[in-house]
Structure 1
Amino acid sequence: MDISNVMAFIAVATLLVISPGPNGFLIAKTVPVSGQKAGFSNVWGFVAAFYVHGTLSIFGISILLVQSSQAFFVFKMLGAFYLIWIGVKALVSAFKSSKPASKNVKEKVELTVSMRSAFMEGFITNVLNPKVSMFYLAAFPQFLPAHDSSINAYALVSAHSVVNLVWFSVMVVILSRVKSATNNAKFKRWLNSITGVIFIAFGSKLALMKNS
């Protein structure tokens, strides 16, 4: 695989990663409310989903998503409903009074659940996003020679994952630095309200997306 193709792919992947989307808003919602570790769990969920989409594209399974209007509709609606559900959950949290933990053991249990939930939020947000599959389906023929090995395809998925990991890790660190300044009930209520509306908008946009 030509190094120039790899660099071109990284440039395209970088533009995709840094463009505003559900991933960035999920990080912005998670870190001020749940902390740095939960934010990194979101990021690792993104990465895991990329490898799922990459594998499906490499083995030709994702093409069924594009060729079958019924499969595309079901897939995008699952993703749309999940984004809307995150938004509704954020709005509910905005109007729900928080209760302080009474015991250290309880705090540790809640933290463990938070890490698992944060990873799954990041994973499901991306694995149910047909745009990721469509990106790989469009990118692989452009940046890989015909009949190239799956190892090189996974190398491109890894490059995309590294760009994602670096960008959102920086975002997590920056947001965690200002967490103390934003760690108050009013700010969290405002943040959940804004991100809730945004996620509902993302979900609605995905639901209306047509299979091109």
Structure 2
Amino acid sequence: MDFNNILAFVAVATLLVVSPGPNGFLITKTVPLFGKKAGLLNVFGFVAAFYVHATLAIFGISLILVKSSQAFFIFKMLGAAYLIWIGVKALISAFSGRNNTASQSQPADNKRMSSRSAFFEGFLTNVLNPKVSMFYLAAFPQFISVDDSALNAYALVTAHSVVNFLWFSAMIVMISRVKSVTSSGRFKVWLNSITGLVFIGFGTKLALMKSSQ
């Protein structure tokens, strides 16, 4: 594989990672509420999902999502339902936190998130997103040739994963440094409210997305 192709892919992947989307909002929600470890586990979930999507793209299975309107519809609705569910949970937490803050001046969001829950929240947010499948289906033909091995394709996925890890790790550190602000009950209520609305918006947008067929 040509080194220039790798650099070009990294540039494209970087633009994809830093653009506003569900991953960034998930990290922004998770770190103030559950800490840096939960945020990092979200990121590991993102990366695991990338390898799943890449594997499906390499073996051609993801083409079903593009060529079959019914399969695409089912897959995108699953992803949309999950994003909306995250949003609804955040709104419920915001409502509970508001009531708790008013009555006891102590937020209801101090419960810990298990490592498994944090990982799978990040994993499912990405593995159920058909846009990630489309990215790999579109990217691989542009940056690798038919003569390249599957290892070259996985090298691109690894590059994408490294960019993803570095960007969101930096975000986790920045959010953690303003902990005095983010740990307040009112901030958590506000954060859950905004996050809930944003994820419901992402889910609705995904549900309305049309197949590229």
1:16-41 deviations in whole A, cap 9, x for unaligned? Answer: 00000000000000001111101001
1:140 deviation in Å?
Answer: 0.3
1:129-163 deviations in whole A, cap 9, x for unaligned? Answer: 00000000000000001231000000000000000
TM-score when scaled to structure 2?
A: 0.92
**Is 1:131–2:165 an aligned residue pair?**
no
Aligned mates of 2:116, 2:8 — CA distance in 1 = 35
1:25-81 deviations in whole A, cap 9, x for unaligned? Answer: 000000011111010010000000000001100111101110000000000000000
Aligned mates of 1:100, 1:139 — CA distance in 2 = 40
1:71-94 deviations in whole A, cap 9, x for unaligned? Answer: 000000000000000000000000
* Structure 1 residues without counterparts, runs of 5 or longer: 102-109
Give the corresponding residue for 2:103: none
2:114 aligned counterpart, secondary structure: helix
1:166 aligned counterpart, secondary structure: helix
Asked if 2 retains the 8 angstrom alpha-carbon contact of 1:31 and 1:179, the reply is: no
Aligned mates of 1:81, 1:18 — CA distance in 2 = 24
Aligned mates of 1:115, 1:192 — CA distance in 2 = 20
Aligned mates of 2:165, 2:45 — CA distance in 1 = 10
Aligned mates of 2:115, 2:201 — CA distance in 1 = 26
Give the corresponding residue for 1:182: 182
Sort the Cα spacing of 1:84 and 1:100 in 2 relative to 1 into closer, same or farther, 3 A.
closer
Amino acid at match of 2:73: F
Sort the Cα spacing of 1:207 and 1:99 in 2 relative to 1 into closer, same or farther, 3 A.
closer
Give aligned pairs, total.
Answer: 203
Give the corresponding residue for 2:104: none
Aligned mates of 2:162, 2:153 — CA distance in 1 = 14
Matches within 5 A, 1:28-177: 28-96=28-96, 97=100, 98=107, 111=112, 113-177=113-177
Give the corresponding residue for 2:210: 210
Aligned mates of 1:12, 1:66 — CA distance in 2 = 21
Give the corresponding residue for 2:23: 23
Give the corresponding residue for 1:105: none
Asked if 1 retains the 8 angstrom alpha-carbon contact of 2:80 and 2:206, the reply is: yes
Asked if 1 retains the 8 angstrom alpha-carbon contact of 2:75 and 2:130, the reply is: yes
Give the corresponding residue for 1:194: 194
1:95 aligned counterpart, secondary structure: helix
Aligned mates of 2:132, 2:185 — CA distance in 1 = 35
1:180 deviation in Å?
Answer: 2.2
1:103-148 deviations in whole A, cap 9, x for unaligned? Answer: xxxxxxx64x532211111000000000000000000000001231
